[in-house]
Amino acid sequence: MPLTPPHLWIVATPLGNPGDLSPRARAVLEAADFVLAEDTRRAGLLCQRCGVSVQRFISCHDHNEAEKAAGIIQALQEGKRAAFISDAGTPVMADPGFRLVRAAREAGLRVSAVPGPCAPVTALSAAGIAPQPFTFFGFLPRETSDQEKTLAPFASLTTTIVFFERKDRLKATLATVHRLFGKRELAICRELTKDYEEFILTRLEDFAALPDDLLGEITVIVGQPEGEVRSPREAVLARLAEESQRGGKPRDIARRVQQHVTGWTGKELYLLLSEQH
């Protein structure tokens, strides 16, 4: 497959099933002067498993993308052809690559995508939950307070929510989502395209009943609101009620809640709490 230099190709790779690597993706990877990869070892194993011969791998991940971008852009300007892949699926969506793509665009270089596997789209297509409109977060922040600040603005929107989560944090994260979003459909989609692929279709309010031993990569889908949409005020009230159960003076409760929400002063939270008693 002839590639016109200079050119940066963003190439989607299999989520798990090697049969999902497209002929076009294979051709681009083999024709590129170098392949940029999140993890060169994993990339090498993937290409070996798929029977793809790559000229050269270069490490490019979250921690070195910014510093390597200038050198990569220079190589492209000199006529080299590069392909960018992530550990699995479509790069940039929840993986490195955005800085490099932006830098290439700003330098006037050609950037093309070779479409293929994408975990959020794969999960949405088979879960049976309304797929549009949807909001994709990638991996949510680890800390509960940061999760709440990220998710709170979306609690009043009629959109399906999609994110990735690790098995050891799944229930804690779902507890936060439930507190903010209330009752909704829930799909836990794990090991997509692999032999042990599984879709667990349940309810967000029933998250505690999920198995504790879920393995593999997990994509979470939270359905759209049912009936009335929970407003940001309702989400804050739910947080105040939860903190009240822990005990303490009203001002202390308001101070604790303020650490987890945005757009509310301690005084406003105290007054809101007082209205409920």
Q: Which pLDDT score, from 0 to 100, does residue 88 have?
A: 93
**pTM of the predicted model, to two decimals?**
0.80
Residue pair 16/39 in contact (Cβ under 8 Å)? The answer is no
**262-268: which pairs have CB atoms within 8 A and are 24 or more residues apart?**
262/149, 262/152, 263/232, 264/236
**CA–CA gap between residue 9 and residue 163 (Å, rounded):** 25
CATH superfamily of 7-117: Tetrapyrrole methylase, N-terminal domain (3.40.1010.10)
Residue pair 94/17 in contact (Cβ under 8 Å)? The answer is no
CATH superfamily of 120-222: Tetrapyrrole methylase, C-terminal domain (3.30.950.10)
Q: Which pLDDT score, from 0 to 100, does residue 269 have?
A: 78
- Cβ neighbours of residue 42 closer than 8 Å, sequence gap 6 or more: 87
pLDDT in tens, 216-228: 899 999 999 886 5
**CA–CA gap between residue 97 and residue 103 (Å, rounded):** 10
Q: Which pLDDT score, from 0 to 100, does residue 1 have?
A: 52
- Cβ neighbours of residue 39 closer than 8 Å, sequence gap 6 or more: 59, 61, 87
Residue 153: asked if its preceding bond is cis (omega within 30°), the reply is no
Q: Which residues pair with 165 in a beta bridge?
A: 218
Residue pair 86/13 in contact (Cβ under 8 Å)? The answer is yes
pLDDT in tens, 16-40: 999 999 999 999 999 999 999 999 9
Residue pair 216/227 in contact (Cβ under 8 Å)? The answer is no
Q: Is the pLDDT confidence value at 60 over 80? A: yes
Mean pLDDT over each residue of the chain, to the nearest integer: 90
Q: Is the pLDDT confidence value at 276 over 60? A: yes
Q: Is the pLDDT confidence value at 47 over 80? A: yes
**Residue 50 vs residues 22, 47, 118, 163: alpha-carbon distances, Å:** 10, 5, 18, 28
Q: Which pLDDT score, from 0 to 100, does residue 175 have?
A: 95
Q: Is 168 helix (H, G, I), strand (E, B) or coil?
A: helix
CA dihedral sign of residues 112, 117, 123, 126 = positive
Cα angle 160, 126, 94 (rounded to 5 degrees) comes to: 60
Token representation of residue 238: 């739910």
Q: What are the structural domain ranges in the chain?
A: 7-117, 120-222, 232-275
